[in-house]
Amino acid sequence: MGKTTNQRYQYLLFDIDNTLMDFTAGEKTALFQTMDELGIAISEADYQKYLEINKAAWTRFETGELDSKGVQRVRFEDYAAHLGHARDQGISMNARYVEKLGQQAILLEGAMDLLAQLSRRYKLAVATNGLTLVQRARLQKSGLLPLLSGVFISQEMGLQKPDKAYYSYIMEAFGDRAQDRYLMIGDSLSADISGGVNAGIDTCWYHPAGLEAAEPQPTYTVRGYAELLELLL
Are 197 and 216 contacting, i.e. CB atoms less than 8 angstroms apart? Answer: yes
In a shared domain, residues 111 and 156? yes
Do 199 and 186 reside in the same domain of the chain? yes
Q: Which of 15, 78, 163, 187 is catalytic?
A: 15
How many structural domains compose the chain?
2
pLDDT in tens, 95-133: 999 999 999 999 999 999 999 999 999 999 999 999 999
Residue 87 DSSP code: G
pLDDT at 210: 81
Region of 148 (left: φ > 0; alpha: ψ -120 to 50; beta: rest) is beta
Mean pLDDT of 203-209: 94
Q: 17, 163, 187, 202: which is the annotated catalytic residue?
A: 17
Residues 59 and 166 in one domain: no
pLDDT digits (tens, 9 = 90+) for 165-202: 999 999 999 999 999 999 999 999 999 999 999 999 99
Domain that residue 65 falls in: 24-101
pLDDT band at 215 (very low <50, low <70, confident <90, very high): confident
pTM score, whole prediction: 0.93
Reported as a single tens digit per residue, the pLDDT across 43-95 is: 999 999 999 999 999 999 999 999 999 999 999 999 999 999 999 999 999 99
Provide DSSP, 5-26: P-S---EEEE--BTTTB-HHHH
Establish if 65 belongs to a structural domain. Answer: yes
Q: Is 17 a catalytic residue?
A: yes
pLDDT averaged over every residue in the chain: 95
117 and 144 housed in the same domain:
yes
pLDDT of residue 3: 47
pLDDT at 150 over 80: yes
How confident is the model over 2-41, as pLDDT tens digits?
445 556 899 999 999 999 999 999 999 999 999 999 999 9
Q: Are residues 45 and 81 in the same domain?
A: yes
- Whether 180 is catalytic: no
Contact status, residue 38 vs residue 96, Cβ threshold 8 Å: yes
